[in-house]
Structures are given as C-alpha cells and as structure tokens.
Amino acid sequence: MDKARAKLTAAEDWLAQGKYFDEIASRCYYAAFHAAQAMLATEGLTANTHQGIVSLFGLHFAKTGKVNPRLGRYLNNLKDDRESGDYDLYSGLDKSDAENAVREAREFLVEAERYLQPFLSSPAS
C-alpha cells in the first residue's frame, strides 16, 4: 500500500500544478493496481497481466460484494486511461479526465485500506 499511496501522491501533486495529465492517469492507475494486487494477495491470487488483475479483482471483490462494485469499474477506467495516455499518439486526456482519475484512485485506495486493515493489524496480545 505504500507504493500505491506514493503513486497517488505524485498524481495529486501534478494535478495541483495543472500539468502532465497523461502521467496523472498512469500514476492513478498504478495506485489502484498496486492496491488491487494487495487485496488479491489476501485471497492467494496473482495474475501475470494487467487485464488479469482487473479481471480477478472484478470476479473476487467487486462481483462478490466484498467491496463496492464501482471499484471494479474504477480499476477498469483507470487502466483504459493509462493505456490511452501511455500508448496513443494523442491521448486526449485533459484536466477533467485527470481530476476524475485522481478521485477514482483516491476512493479506490480508501476502500482498499479499509478492506486490508484486518490483514495489516497486528494481533492483540
């Protein structure tokens, strides 16, 4: 989760500066991606691809009700924006898209931390 928070912080900093919208989308996706990986690990699940992470998260968390289903949509949206920003000659991502990405990533991390709390807490003595 430290890695996820660091990615989100970078995105928030760039958004405050009003620049690097493609990079904001990328950092937001990776924030959610790392959080999703941590959550999947609690179920003993891993994937070799980004789409695999998105699919497993949807199947084991969003569709089961372990988390709000909108988090599955957020992870997919963030992945799509990251791919557009990273690979398209002209991504078209603007400030509004970046603001939305930060909002979705922030909400994703809040929910991930809530879910992971029992796994991160040390047992009572």
For the stretch 53-60, contacts whose Cβ atoms lie closer than 8 Å and that sit 24 or more positions apart, written own/partner, are: 54/79
For residue 3, with 0-12 CB atoms within 10 Å meaning exposed, 13-18 middle and 19 or more buried, which class applies?
middle
Read off the pTM.
0.92
Query: Would you say residue 104 lies in a domain?
Result: yes
Total domain count, the chain: 1
Q: What is the pLDDT of residue 123?
A: 57
Range of the domain at 19: 2-120
Query: Would you say residue 29 lies in a domain?
Result: yes
pLDDT digits (tens, 9 = 90+) for 82-93: 999 989 888 889
Mean predicted confidence (pLDDT) in 20-30? 97
